[in-house]
Amino acid sequence: MANTRCHEVVLLDVRHLSPVTDYFVIASGTSARQMRSAADAAAELGEERDYKPMGRAGYEGESWLLIDFVDVVLHVFNDESRSFYDLDGLWGDAPRIQWETKDEGASAKDESAQKPQ
C-alpha cells in the first residue's frame, strides 16, 4: 500500500482477537481514484500469490474500500473516514507488525516475533 502512495499504513495481527481474519492492513489514501488504484494493485498482487479476493466493498464510494482475502482484510480510507471509524483504536490490543517498504531494503518485522504466513 505504501508503494501506491497510501500513507499511515498499519499492519495489525488480529489472530488472537478476531475469529474472521488473521491480519488487517489499514491505509489512508489521497483521493478516491488513488484509493481504488491502490486497492486494485493489492488485489492483483494477492492474485499473483494465490490469494484471490473473496469480497470487495466500497468501490462505489469515496471514503472506505475493503478487500477481503480471508486471512487478510485490507481497509483503505480517506483521512476523514479513517479518523471517524478509528479501526487503529478499535483494534488497539492487536500487535502492530513493523515493516519497511521494499524500496527501503527490508522485509516485515513482527513485534511479537511471529511472521505472517
pLDDT digits (tens, 9 = 90+) for 53-111: 999 999 999 999 999 999 999 999 999 999 999 999 999 999 999 977 665 444 444 44
- CATH homologous superfamily of domain 2-97? Beta Polymerase, domain 2 (3.30.460.10)
Question: The sheet that has 23-28: what strands, in order across it?
Answer: 7-13, 23-28, 72-77, 64-68, 55-57
Measured distance CA(58)–CA(36) in Å, rounded = 9
Going from N- to C-terminal start, the domains of the chain cover 2-97
Determine the 3-state secondary structure of 98 from DSSP. Answer: strand
pTM, two decimals, is: 0.83
Assigned C-alpha cell, 9: 499504513
User: How much is the pLDDT for 3?
Assistant: 85
Count the Cβ atoms, other than its own, within 10 Å of residue 90. 10
Local structure of 77: helix, strand or coil? strand
**Per-residue pLDDT tens over the stretch 78-93:** 999 999 999 999 999 9
